[in-house]
Structure 1
Amino acid sequence: MKDFRDLKVWQRSHKLVLSIYEVTANFPKHELYGLTSQMRRAAASIPTNIAEGCGRGSDADFARFLQMAMGSGSELEYQLILAHDLGFIDKLQYDKLSNELIETKRMLNSFLQTLKGNRTQLTAKS
């Protein structure tokens, strides 16, 4: 079992969560239980799923949790668009967060492909 904190994709996604918390702190108070909460949950779900998957017993289980992390990333992607369109974040903030998210999703995808490759190699040897 690998320590999730050693994974670059977890480190990157944790940094993204911190950025989301920072930017949503400036959202209107009436959004505290709306978009603020949704964005924070979606962002935190990414490293949370990586951590949980890392503690699972197989690459297949880990891959399933990485796919859930990708789904949360897509959810956050839309929420960033909405926050920008509602005027809660400016173009500069949107671009910065969007780029962080895109890079995180690329890393997740790459990691998923590596896990799938490992499973293919293991089944081919059997």
Structure 2
Amino acid sequence: MHYRDAVIWEKSMQLAETACREAAGLPREERFGMRAQITRAAVSVPSNIAEGWSRESRKEKAQFMAIAHGSLAELHTQLLLCVRIGWLEDDDMRPAFALIDEISRMLTVLRRRMRS
């Protein structure tokens, strides 16, 4: 199966689109700060899933899924901080937070399967 057919990749692409759109609304002075961090972390999730999916060895696949999982946690933290600061509205971020939770659970299952 191609990574583009994987549900986890599609959901992570949806999350990246949402996060990048939300980041565009952050204060202008955050263009090279939080906004850039959010964009990098958001893009890293589906990118590492795709790269891991394309690797041949289980060890390499697992490594890229671990990186994707770390980027997902980083993105979640950054979005939560933006809500706490008041740059983003909690209600607006609920769909993104739900996707983060779902993708995290999916990555956990994938990574466990790769270890066994």
Look up the match of 1:54.
Answer: 53
- Tell me which residue corresponds to 1:107: 106
**Residues 1:25 and 2:13 are matched in the alignment:** no
Q: How does 1:1-126 map to 2 (within 5 A)?
A: 2-117=1-116
Secondary structure of the 1:80 match is helix
* 1:80 CA displacement: 1.1
The Cα shift of 1:57 comes to 1.4
Identical-pair percentage: 32
Take 1:90 and 1:55, find their aligned partners in 2: how far apart are those partners?
37
| Other structure's SS at 2:107 match | helix
How many aligned positions are there?
A: 116
**3-state DSSP class of the match of 1:106?**
helix
- Deviation at residue 24 of structure 1 after TM alignment: 1.2
Give structure 2 stretches of 5+ with no counterpart: none
Tell which deviates more after alignment, 5-14 or 51-60.
Answer: 51-60
Cα deviation per residue 1:98-120 (whole Å; 9 max; x = unaligned)? 11111111111111122223xxx
Residue identity opposite 1:47 in structure 2: P
State the TM-score, normalized to the length of structure 2. Answer: 0.93
Using the size of structure 1 for normalisation, the TM-score is 0.86
Distance, in Å, in 2 between the alignment partners of 1:16 and 1:101 is 7
